[in-house]
Amino acid sequence: MLEDYSNTTLYVNIYTQKQRWKLLLLLAALMIGTASLWYTNRLVQKLSEEERKKIELWAEATRRLADVSELNTDINFLSNVISNNTTIPVIWADDHFNPISSRNLDSLNSLNAAFLHQQIIEMRAEHDPIEIHIGTIKQYILYRDSELLIRLRYYPYFQLAVIALFLVVSYLAFSSSRKAEQNQVWVGMAKETAHQLGTPLSSLVAWLEFLRLKGMSSDYTNEIEKDINRLQTITERFSKIGSAPSLTKVNIHEVLKHSVGYIQTRSSDKVIFDLSNPSTEIWAPMNVPLFEWVIENILKNAIDAMSGNGKIAVTITNQHQFVYIDIADTGKGIPKSSYKTIFKPGFTTKSRGWGLGLSLSKRIIEEYHDGQIFVKNSEIDKGTTFRIVLKK
């Protein structure tokens, strides 16, 4: 519904680069996170191998102490090896995996046979048992990772989750602050515009009365009065930005009829306007000057999209709680990728446009009328339909 989508240089320079930087930062964050997880997993793997070696040494020490045939064994050394394991949970089991003794398990539950059997099942699933032979008897040493190794394995995920949460909160706070700052700029510019227009308008009203007193033809003065009234309407619209406008229930068809009529008298005869006339009156709360501003913005964009030659259809659909207003043109259409971005400030395809019309329209409908405005559908070189949803 905009004029030309092959020349969006202003938007590309601002928003496309912004999206590109966001993507690059996201990729950088993913790379850092992946590298952190890879390094931590390598470290955990090495520590797991070290724990395996410690348990194998512990198993060998246990075997030698239990094997009475090895009379020349240094008992003190083997005892120190066994007693030095204070972190890795271990179970010594027979050839049928019945527990013989345990170490570094819950001191109360370690006396419970059912608990020890459950621990053996879990340990066998986690690590291959270490087989030892005491004489001709086969036994097993089972173990699982120490608490420190488990914490280290899950720590990077927790750390990344905290960092991600911090970044999300920071981004939301920054976006909220930036949006508030943008709102202040919007309001300041609108109020200042209304203020600047007020002084010459007062002067023009006085000059109009002077011309009437001088006997100027009413044909001229009436046209001048129309333009002055139009300027007063524009001033009123700008003055309402930033403050909560009062909403009154009005006949939607009448408001649309006035807006379409205003644009129709100022557009080419090659533009055909078709405004549907509902069988019953449809009323909804709205601020008429601001709502008409939205309709005029959309209609002007539609005319530009059709290069001043085509058809614009305005349809009103009455629902139980909502009113749908569809504005369809036969213009150049909008790419699907731009359905949302056309409402962003600065998006424009016109060499002399500011890209504020649709952004302001969205603000008026959503913030001041608690409604919705969006692109219902669009096809390239066939046309676009905007939909406005208002609560009844």
Distance separating alpha carbons of residues 283 and 22, to the nearest angstrom: 44
pLDDT of 7 reads 42
pLDDT of 121 reads 93
For CATH 3.30.565.10, list the domain ranges present in the chain.
245-391
- Residue 310: left (phi > 0), alpha (psi -120 to 50), or beta? left
pLDDT tens-digit readout, 331-375: 999 888 888 888 876 666 555 555 577 888 898 899 889 999 999
Mean pLDDT of 306-316: 93
The fold for domain 36-144 equals: Beta-Lactamase (3.30.450)
Going by pLDDT thresholds of 50, 70 and 90, the confidence category of residue 270 is: very high
How do strand 310-318 and strand 271-275 relate by DSSP bridges?
Answer: parallel
Distance separating alpha carbons of residues 3 and 70, to the nearest angstrom: 95
The yes-or-no verdict on residue 5 having pLDDT over 50 is no
Mean pLDDT of 15-43: 83
For CATH 3.30.450, list the domain ranges present in the chain.
36-144
The yes-or-no verdict on residue 153 having pLDDT over 90 is no
373 and 359 in contact (C-beta within 8 Å)?
no
**Closest alpha carbon to 317 in 254, 257, 390, 383:** 390
Q: Which helix (H) or strand (E) element contains residue 38? A: helix 17-66
Question: Which is higher by pLDDT, 14 or 386?
Answer: 386
Distance separating alpha carbons of residues 364 and 376, to the nearest angstrom: 18
Q: What percent of the chain has pLDDT over 70?
A: 89
pLDDT of 340 reads 82
Phi first, then psi, for residue 319 (nearest 5°) are -115, 180
pLDDT tens-digit readout, 112-121: 888 999 999 9
pLDDT of 13 reads 53
Angstrom CA distances, 377 to 24, 274, 297, 298, 311, stand at 31, 19, 18, 15, 16
Going by pLDDT thresholds of 50, 70 and 90, the confidence category of residue 82 is: confident
- Residue 333: left (phi > 0), alpha (psi -120 to 50), or beta? left
Tell the burial category of 317 from Cβ atoms under 10 Å away from its Cβ (0-12, 13-18, 19+): middle
The yes-or-no verdict on residue 12 having pLDDT over 50 is no
Question: Which is higher by pLDDT, 328 or 22?
Answer: 328
Look up the pTM and report it: 0.56
The yes-or-no verdict on residue 388 having pLDDT over 90 is yes
Q: For domain 245-391, say whether CATH 3.30.565.10 is its number.
A: yes
Distance separating alpha carbons of residues 103 and 58, to the nearest angstrom: 11
The yes-or-no verdict on residue 253 having pLDDT over 90 is yes
**Closest alpha carbon to 302 in 257, 254, 358:** 358
Going by pLDDT thresholds of 50, 70 and 90, the confidence category of residue 259 is: very high
Question: Which is higher by pLDDT, 134 or 5?
Answer: 134
The least confident of 138-142, 173-177, 282-286 is 173-177
Amino acid at 392: K
pLDDT of 117 reads 92
Mean pLDDT of 125-130: 92
pLDDT of 351 reads 53
pLDDT of 254 reads 94
DSSP, collapsed to helix, strand or coil, labels residue 100 as strand
Question: Which is higher by pLDDT, 272 or 67?
Answer: 272
pLDDT of 202 reads 85
pLDDT of 219 reads 85
